Amino acid sequence: KDYTSDQEVRWCPGCGDYVILATVRGFLAELGLKRENLMFVSGIGCSSRFPYYLEAYGIHSIHGRAPAIATGLAVTRPDLSVWVVTGDGDALSIGGNHLIHALRRNVNMTILLFNNRIYGLTKGQYSPTSEPGKITKSTPMGSIDHPFNTLSVALGAEATFAGRALDSDRAGLTEVLRAAAEHRGTSFVEILQDCPIFNDGSFDALRRENAESHLIRLRHGEPIRFGADGEFAVVRDGFGLKTVRADTVADSEIVVHDAYTDHPEYAYALSRLSDQDLTRVPIGIFRSVSRPTYDDGVRAQLDAAADNHPVKENSLQQLLTGRETWTVG
Ligand code: SF4
Q: How far is the CA of 124 from the centre of ligand 1 (A)?
A: 9
Beta strand extents in the chain (DSSP E only): 38-42, 57-60, 81-87, 109-115, 161-166, 186-192, 215-218, 225-226, 232-237, 240-245, 281-288
**Ligand 1 neighbour 12 (Cβ under 6 A):** yes
Contact criterion met (CB below 8 Å) for 184 and 291: no
Residue 141 — left, alpha, or beta (φ > 0 → left; ψ -120 to 50 → alpha)? Answer: alpha
Q: Rounded to the nearest whole angstrom, what is the distance from the C-alpha of residue 46 to the centroid of ligand 1? A: 6
- Reduced to 3 states (helix: H, G, I; strand: E, B; else coil), residue 59 is strand
**Residue 2: what pLDDT?**
80
Q: How far apart are the first and last CA of the chain?
A: 48
- For the CA of 12, the closest atom of ligand 1 is 3
Is any ligand 1 atom within 6 A of the Cβ of residue 198? yes
For ligand 1, atom 2: residue with the closest CA:
195
Contact between residue 43 and residue 121 where contact means Cβ atoms under 8 Å apart: no
- Bridge-based pairing of strands 281-288 and 161-166 is antiparallel
Q: Do residues 116 and 86 make contact, with C-beta atoms less than 8 angstroms apart? A: no
Q: CA 113 from chain center: how many Å? A: 5
Q: Which long-range contacts (CB under 8 A, 24 or more apart) does 34-37 make?
A: 35/1, 35/3, 37/79, 37/80, 37/81
Phi, psi of 35 (to 5 degrees): -60, -30
Is there an atom of ligand 1 within 6 Å of 89 CB? Answer: no
Burial class (CB in 10 A: 0-12, 13-18, 19+), 111: buried
Nearest CA, atom 6, ligand 1: 11
Question: In 3D, which of 299, 256, 285, 270 has the Cα closest to residue 107?
Answer: 299
Dist CA 327 CA 329 (whole Å): 6
Stretches where the chain sits below pLDDT 70 are 1, 310-329
* 112 C-beta closer than 6 A to ligand 1: no
Q: Which residues pair with 241 in a beta bridge?
A: 236
Counting from 1 in the atom list of ligand 1, the atom nearest the Cα of 10 is 6
Specify the amino acid at residue 184: R
User: Which ranges of 77-191 would DSSP assign to H, the alpha helix?
Assistant: 88-89, 96-105, 150-156, 170-182
Q: Which atom of ligand 1 is nearest to the CA of 17?
A: 1
- Indicate whether residue 15 lines ligand 1 (CB < 6 A): yes
- DSSP string covering 161-191: EEEEEETT-HHHHHHHHHHHHH-SSEEEEEE
Q: What is the largest CA-CA distance in the chain?
A: 78
d(CA 31, CA 121) in angstroms, rounded, equals 31
**Using an 8 Å Cβ cutoff, are 270 and 282 in contact?**
yes
Ligand 1 site, residue 175, Cβ cutoff 6 A: no
Task: Determine how many CB atoms are found less than 10 A away from the CB of residue 142.
Answer: 13
Residue with CA at minimum distance from ligand 1 atom 3: 12
CA–centroid distance, residue 11 to ligand 1 (Å): 6
- Predicted confidence at residue 329, as pLDDT, reads 43
> What DSSP letter does each residue of 309-322 carry, written as one string?
SS--SS-HHHHHHT
Ligand 1 atom at minimal distance to the Cα of residue 199: 2
Integer Cα distance of 318 and 141 in angstroms: 56
Ligand 1 in reach of 120 Cβ (< 6 A): yes
What is the pTM assigned to this prediction? 0.93
Ligand 1 pocket check for 110: Cβ under 6 Å: no
Q: Could you tell me the distance, in angstroms and rounded to a whole number, from the CA of residue 199 to the centre of ligand 1?
A: 9
Rounded Cα distance between 111 and 99, Å, is 9
The protein residue with its alpha carbon nearest to ligand 1, atom 5, reads 120
The Å distance, Cα 12 to ligand 1 centre, comes to: 5
How many other C-beta atoms are found inside a 10 Å radius of the C-beta of residue 105? 21
